[in-house]
Structure 1
Amino acid sequence: MAEEPRPFKLADAARVGFQELTSSRDGLAALLPELPVSAAELLRAFAAAADPDIALARIRELLERHSELAPELGEEPLRRLCLLVGASPALGDFFIRHPAGLAELLAGGGALVPDAAAHETLRASVHDPESGETLAGEAGWAALRVAYRQLLARVMLFDLERSTEGLASEAFEHVASSLSVLAAAAVDASLTVARATLAAGLSGPAVREERLNAASLAVVAMGKCGAEELNVVSDVDVVFIADCCDEDVLDADGLIRITTRLATETMRGIHDPGVEPPLWQLDANLRPEGRHGALVRTLGSMLTYYDRWAKGWEFQALLKARPLAGDLALGEQFVAQTRELVWASSSREDFVGSVQRMRERVTEHIANDDLEVQLKLGPGGLRDIEFSVQLLQLVHGQYDDRLHLRGTLPALRALVDGGFVARSDGDRLVADYQFLRVLEHRLQLRELRRTAIMPLDPEGLRVLARASGLATTGDELLAAWGRTKREVRELHLKIFYAPLLSAVAALPEEELVLGSDEARARLSSIGFRDPDGAMRHLSALTRGTSRRARIHRNLLPVLLQWLADGTDPDYGLLAFRRVSEANSESPWYLRLLRDGTEAAERLTRVLSSSRFAAELLETIPDAVAWLERDSSLRPIGLTSLLEEMRALASRRATLDEAAAALRAVHRREVLRLAMGRITGVLDDTQVASGLDAAHTALLDGLLLALGRAEVAAGHPANVALALIGMGRYGGGELGFASDIDLIAVYRPLREIPGDQAAREAIKKVSELRRLVSDPRFAVDLDFDLRPEGKNGPLARSLAASRSYYERWSVTWEAQALLRARPVAGDQELGAAFIALADEIRYPTEFSESQIREVRRMKARVEAERLPRGADPKRHLKLGPGGVSDVEWLVQLLQLRFGAEHPELRTVETLAALDAAAKLELIAGDDAAHLEDSWRYASSVRSALKLWNGRSSDTLPTDRVELEGIANVLGMPRRRTSELEERWFAVSRRSRGVVEREFFGYSDDPEFPELP
């Protein structure tokens, strides 16, 4: 018998969009006899599905369980069903569970749900149709969720049908508004069930009806629901407000208890697991004090909180507040009485910081891998648009009532009408927002779960393109999304900063020119503390028709945003103006800013994050060119620097000319290191090596220049001089805040009286100190660690040094020699001094009395050298667990065991600490705690110097200062508490080790207990 011809071919399935061709061909063939449609009509129906394979599977399962639906699926109803379940398998699963109403939906098509109809339908769903009584507990929640999803399906079918017509973007606002209507009706119905649940005692003790009736609860929507622009599946942000209708029945405590239970049950009804899956999250975390605050407050308590304690971001959240459910009059009263605070919030202290923190809060828990595929939170995503619009509303809304709107798109259009955003930019931003929101809706519709992650796999993109109607292929959709992201990012910058340039440069930018007050307000809103000064600098940079002014006008919208991201945008803009003016004759400068994006961003980071580097850069403005390449920001190295310095010293006619040239090279290298550290090219270890080379080459070059000057003057040198590095310089552990500690030692070169040799050596050291002094960059040579300290001569002969150390030195002087290292001058003499130092600093015996002397000296330092009034816990050097604690402990180990263990004979603190741990002189964990504290304190001291140009050993308490340090260290913005907490943690652990290992070597009665 001949085989019957198949009604469908594989090519038919492929043309429709099926991926599993064989199984889909067979599935279609099996489905065809059950439906009142032709083969061609069946194919056309599935061609409408975003995912035909999924649609076929869901429809076959639906008809297997509910075969009575088959006769209802003519061509148009079937097409609508394919459209719905092909885009949302989750709704397909829902109708498999609950088919009631499906045939009616497919016959009539999708539709927006009016407010009254939504409330009536959902309110009716939670009442028994026969008795009319409200359903309580699980029965009420399940009925509500089923009715909600039936209405949701109607709205989403309407949306999908618009997509097939290419009208998804135009329909977005209507769809989002209808979804917000559904949410309001659902919350109101859930509150009704909550009251019945409490009355029935199904959740805790039953509440008497008269007490329930006396408790009024308002649910106020925030966020997208408040703005009436809700997603398919989104958190619905709310706050709960209570009022008492009858104080004779209910006191204040009883009111809060009952309304808190009502609010809790209302939330449970929406998002707790149940027989029917949850709808979405009803989120009350935007309430006063967040999740730690009371779930319900009275109106008076709410208003008191917002008036006295609320942060700026909380007023930003209130921007979209509207009554949602429950007592709408009470909700309206709350909204009305907080409006004035909302529109005055941009004048509050730290407004900018609070808005930035609000922006960062939504991204800080997002994995880095997800940020680039985030439609919502990633660069060029929805949040960029929403925060741009909200910030402009808050800044200008204090002057213009037309901006007092909740929705993003209505507010954006009002900003355009008010002249705050250029019309063409506003139109593009509206279109981009609609595009991104349609994609977000389709992603959430698929599984009815909250997501904003863009698929990158070909199949996911193909389905999303078909569901959205925004592209014909996945590749086309991906390209369109990429263009949209770039445009949003560009517009995000432009709408903030371009109007400022229009205002200060009097430039026609379509119809957009801000007035002076508006420009000042906008500058303040992005972080400038002196908007008048900023406007003067912008005017100087952009006025006129020169090529330089034109390029500045093009660049400054981006540069201003980067400056605003720094800690001190005011100083950054001033420094940018100075650097630009200094480079005004350099053709490469503007080209570098225009074409080298990384260089321009690095420049703004340096200028707004480091006064130290900015001031140095003003003296060497062509150093901007280094920012283009990492290699230019790395230290040159000692050998190359020595060659350069020696060549300069030999080519200058006078000593002062040679010194000026050498100081310029030294200043140049310090600037290179500062810029490398701020931009993240260098770490602290590389900075220490670079500073060591720069200082050493400077000293070597100056000594060479001194010698040449003596010969030129007919006074051949009578003494050879060697400079011995001490302290952190000797240890090669310099930071930007470190002193240059030295000892000068000499030896006569010919037979001359000893006092004459001493005078000449001291004169040479004094001249060296004069020559190293830089009016543009302070460099001080500190000789206080010499024998006898400040009371001793600036230089001693090698023989006098030997005599002193052998006969008169005290333990602290031997301890100071632990980091002695020859750095410049006569190498043979330097080596001889180090041989002497080895005899002193690594004694064969170190007695208990000497140990006590070291402890006593350390205790004196703690008691006497801390600045008066300083908080010891914040002192990075002398405080508990600070640099001094670590170094004294390590040095005590070197003094005690250095003669026995050559591994300890190093000038580097951390190298000695590592050796001590390997020799088991200290536990490995203890050594790690000491190293953490030493490194962190050193980094913070150096960062503080970079930030404000001043040396300090105290961790500041001022938030701006802490922000500056954190910014230099590359910590996330607005995390100053983490900076402090980390210091307190590492210093506490370090101090514990010091108390045990330094002060506790023996049962010394002088040190019985330490705090």
Structure 2
Amino acid sequence: MMSDHTNQDPATEAHWLTWLDWAGTQGIAVPADPAFTQARARVWEASEYVAITAARHPADFAELIASGDLESVYGAGDLAQRLETALASVTDEPSLQRALRIFRRREMLRIIWRDIAERAPLPETLEDLSELADVCIDAALARLHDWTCAELGTPRDAEGRPQRLVVLAMGKLGARELNLSSDIDLIFAFAQTGEVTGSPRALSNEQFFVRLAQRLVQSLASATVDGFVFRVDTRLRPFGEVGPLAMSFQAMEDYYQSQAREWERYAMIKARPVAGDPADRDQLMAMLRPFVYRRYLDFGAFESLRDLKRMIAKELYRRGMDANIKLGPGGIREIEFIGQAFQLVRGGRDPALQVRPIRQVLACLADRDLMPAEVIARLDAAYVFLRLVENRLQAYRDKQTHTLPDDAVNRLRLARSMGFADWTAFAAVLAEHRQRVQEQFDHVFAAPVEEAEPGDINLGMLWNGCHEPAHELELLKASGFADPEVARTRIAQFRDATARKGLSARGHDRLGHLMPQVLRLIAASGQPDRVLERMLRVLESVMQRTAYLAMLSEHPGILAQLACLAGMSPWFTDRIARHPLLLDELIDTRRLYAPLRRDELESELDALLAPVDAEDLEQQMERLHQFAQGNMLRVAAADLTEVIPLMVVSDYLTEIAEVAVARVLRLAFAHLVARHGRPTAILGEDTGFLALGYGKLGGIELGYGSDLDLVFIHGSESVTAMTDGPRSISNEQFYNRLGQRIIHMMTTRTATGALYEIDMRLRPDGTKGMLVRSLASFANYQETAAWTWEHQALTRARPVAGDPALARRFDEVRRAVLCRPRDPEQLRTEVREMRAKMRASLDRTGGGRFDLKQGAGGIADIEFMVQYAVLRWAADYPTLADWTDNIRQLATLARFDLLPGQSAQELTDAYKALRAAYHRSALQEQPKTIPLDQLEAERGRVRELWRALMEDAHREAVNGQD
């Protein structure tokens, strides 16, 4: 709203009268419309700077009125073009400084007018101010560089390429959020050390660029009769005021990797190059990014920012500056800290958070559901209000201040500039915004406190090891440990291991804070002996990684989830101990127990791979491993807690594998195309390559830790066809290299393990066969040379990644092979004999335990019977070839009444029960066996059906022939 401005300050009105007198002598008419009159009165009341500047330089204000710029929005590039025109005649530094200051004065009049008169919303004001600084820096530097080269020579790199100064804008300018009278924080850098050529004396590149940076700072910041352009602060550079004004990229990298302090990460979030060679700018930002954004979730940022805020609050208290709307309680800095804490923690994993403007960060937090949308809306509204207040404070005298006035006159002036009738009304709204900000800041940065339940035994003393052994054993026994002596020994061994491994002081503090909580959760788990062993294994794997200890400190809920899952299965703690990144998955229980489906998996993998360079194979593999392991963990968590039914567990696990295989194929294909071009003359509409899944992958029946049976085929039919790139190779070579790269990406062990184990032995001719075959060759092999067991395997084969057109052609080949007529008796004999060979070599039944897969009456018997039935009847019932999984194949056999009685349903029930036990054994990391007295009825029925279908029918057929 616009407040009444009839009661004007006599001093500011005198400035207006001065301008009117000048306008009268020049014959310049004053706009008569009421909107101008009201806006003029409001601006003159709110900004003594504008009133005085217009009186002292009346032509500037007159030109702004005449040009219409007071009412216009600048377009992209307008300001830079205007500045180039203003600097067209400058030939030396004095004339450059004068032209820049005159230009700045004119544009500040316009920006302040539009801000106070509410012609421009806050984003436009901040953008205009930031653009003004950008163009002044860039235009001044361009001229100063040329003049310095003319005087001192040209700085060059080792290859003789001329170099230019790179200017990093920090703080509000870096984020394009500059306020009306802000300093600009700058850091200066150059690409390479070297020598200046053409210099009258020996001069290093560093000396040249330090001199150039000094001249730039002077051109912008020195106060002349025309004022200044921008105050410049260079203290954010490496080593601060004692460091060199300009540093090489290598020197900067060394500093930020080894000596930078935590607050410098916070500052570097907003760093933005505003001048310099584009390639150098990109190189510098790529070098700085890993310093700012860690690859893991870095919860130590909360602790660091908590400490930084504490220091600021202490300094403000010492100065008595609680009225500071930037640094005080509930001020602008607290909003920035909230957003930037999440950026530091999660930005390395989520590129969407690697943005500079704080309002974009807040919006991203809402989009990612990292903070409630209504909280974000309140923070955003508070930020806009506080930034407007900041601008009004600074617009008054073009002075950098963030302190609310304490006298009645200036309080009223500020309130009216914000559209309020009086200070009381304004102060109430301001206090409400600041209270909301402070409440949210305190919530986000509150040091986590884990409250002990009433009656809990104090197990913290066990960690300190300061009591007599007998007393400690009593505590452990009272806490529910079945074997207190073993538990006490394990705790002592772990404590000794932390001492031997040389934890930092901060690491010791964090662990000391964590262990009482850990022991309390273990004691409450219901099976503390087992959970203690498993949780200590995880803690031992992360104890030297303080970021993970910080994560556990900031999110005690992770420990609770870990204790819960550890009690259910060692699978979780073993995986997390090997891959601590998986701790991230325990933060949000909504995600942990909600496995993703295909579209969501694709989106998550897109986000993980987005920041990785296309040629960074190691990081691509790391992110793929992280993707697969994290999603498998979610499936296991949902499985054990029965959030999802058992029969869809394999669906989830199979989709994870399919998405991973498809992405590896895409990455590997893009890599080879970049080098050799695309294969030509292929069957297909995309890559001309197909990855076939066999076995559990093909049958959509993957378990935990299953390997992937893959076969690769391509669509090139011509042995002379070549790729179309400058480094052309034959299609055969291309596809063979593609298959090799896929296997390499999926099986190579990195720091986070291997993506999957791959088995390629089911390809034509097995291990002796070509790694990748053409579809025509594959079809010919299946028709003329394949063994019956290979046709059995084909019943479970399906495309899992690759060219859609080639997939359709494969399906035609597969259907033709499966649906051809067969001699039932010969087929039965060959299937039965293959099963006998397999059982003889693989069955681990014995010692009172039954092999779930290979034992008589186990999973493999069911699979062989289904495969026999599909091959036996597919010629007459082609629908049998539609499916690759046992359950739907059995359902189809039942639909056509091809198995006697309820055999199909009985096999289905037995198969589900056996697979459930198989899954559970995998999660308990036990051999895939069960005691002989378990599932006896199901196993017995499978054996009966095997005899009826595969043996008795054979004897009947033989007897009939006799």
Q: TM-score, normalised by structure 2?
A: 0.45
